[in-house]
Structure 1
Amino acid sequence: MHFDSLPYKTKQFFFVLIKLSIVIAAFYLIYQKIIHNTEFNIKQFWSFLKESHVFSLKTIIFLLLLTGFNWFFEILKWQTLVRSITSISIKKALEQSLAALTASLLTPNRIGEYGAKAIYFRAGQRKQVMLLNLLGNVSQMATTLVFGSIGLWLMYLSYDLNINTTKLSYLMIIVVSILAFVAFGLRQTKFKIKGFSLEKLKVFFLSLSLNLHVYIIVLSLIRYSIFSFQFYVLLLLFGVDFNYLEAMTIITTMYLLVSVLPSIFIFDVVVKGSVAVYLFSLAGINAFTILSIVMIMWVLNFVLPSVFGSYYVLNFNLPKTDD
Structure 2
Amino acid sequence: MIPLNKNIKLILNYVIGPLVFCLLAWSIYRQLNRQPNWEESFHQIKLAFEGIQVWKFVLVCMLMLINWTIEARKWQVAVTRLQPINLLQCLKAIFTGTTMAFFTPNRIGEYLGRILYIEEGKRIQAISVTIVCSMAQLLVTLMAGIAGLLYLRNVISHTAPLDDSLLFWTNTVLWITILGCIVLTLLFFKLAWLVKLMEMIPKLGKLVQYIRVLDSFNATILWRILSLSITRYFVFIAQYYLLFDVFDVDLSFAETFASMSVVFLVLAIVPSIAMITELGVRWKASIELVQFFSTNMIGVLATSLSIWVINLVIPALIGSLLILSIRIFRNR
Is the shorter-chain TM-score for this pair beyond 0.5, marking a shared fold? Answer: yes
Could you say what secondary structure the match of 1:4 adopts? coil
State the Cα deviation string for residues 187-237 of structure 1 (Å, max 9, x = none).
Answer: 8996999x957x985x65343122110110010001000011110111111
User: Is 1:318 aligned to residue 328 of structure 2?
Assistant: yes
Listed one character per residue, the Cα deviations across residues 39-69 of structure 1 (whole Å, up to 9, x for unaligned) are 2332x23433455644644223212111111
Mapped contact 1:54–1:237 kept (Cα < 8 A):
no
Assess if the C-alpha contact under 8 Å between 2:140 and 2:233 holds in 1. yes
Task: Give the AA of the match of 1:253.
Answer: V
1:309, 1:70 → 2: CA distance?
A: 15
C-alpha separation in 1, matches of 2:225 and 2:69: 13
Instruction: Tell me the residue number matched to 2:298.
Output: 288
**2:89 equivalent in structure 1:** 92
Which residue of the partner structure matches residue 108 of structure 1? 105
Within 5 Å, which residues of 2 pair with 1:59-74? Answer: 59-74=56-71
Cα contact 2:153–2:170 (8 A) shared by 1: no
Match of 1:224 in 2: 233
Q: Residues 87, 157 of structure 1: CA spacing in aligned structure 2 closer, same or farther, 3 A cutoff?
A: same
Partner of 2:182: none
Give the aligned length.
311
Letter in 2 for 1:47: H
Tell me the distance in 1 between the aligned counterparts of 2:11 and 2:310. Answer: 33
Counterpart mapping for 1:145-294 below 5 A:
145-160=142-157, 162-164=163-165, 204-266=213-275, 267-294=277-304
Deviates more, 1:240-249 or 1:162-171: 162-171
Q: Indicate the residue corresponding to 1:126 in structure 2.
A: 123
Q: Partner residue of 1:183?
A: none
169 and 37 in structure 1: CA distance in 2 versus 1, 3 angstrom threshold = closer
Q: Do the aligned residues in 2 keep the contact of 1:75 with 1:97 (CA within 8 Å)?
A: yes
Paired residues of 2:73 and 2:90 also in contact (CA < 8 A): yes
RMSD of the TM alignment (CA)?
3.5
Q: Which amino acid aligns with 1:106?
A: F
Q: Which residue of 2 aligns with 1:28?
A: 26
Q: What is the alpha-carbon distance in structure 2 between the residues aligned to residue 244 and residue 282 of structure 1?
A: 14
Conserved in 1, the CA contact under 8 Å of 2:93 and 2:115? no
User: Structure 1 pair 24/191, CA: closer, same or farther in 2 (3 Å)?
Assistant: farther
2:145 is the counterpart of 1:136: no
- Structure 1 residue 252, shift from structure 2 partner: 1.1
**Structure 1 Cα separation of the partners of residues 168 and 246 of structure 2:** 40
Question: Please, which of 294, 310, 315 is the counterpart of residue 300 of structure 1?
Answer: 310
Cα distance in 2, alignment partners of residues 276 and 259 from structure 1 = 14
CA deviation after TM superposition for structure 1 residue 38, in Å: 3.0
CA contact (8 A) 1:64 1:300 kept: yes
Percent identical: 22
How many Å separate the matches in 1 of 2:325 and 2:290? 42
1:181 maps to what in 2?
Answer: none
Amino acid at match of 2:278: D
Inter-partner Cα distance in structure 2 for 1:241 and 1:5: 58
Determine the C-alpha separation between the residues in 1 that align with 2:258 and 2:121.
Answer: 45
Unaligned ranges ≥5, structure 2? 180-193
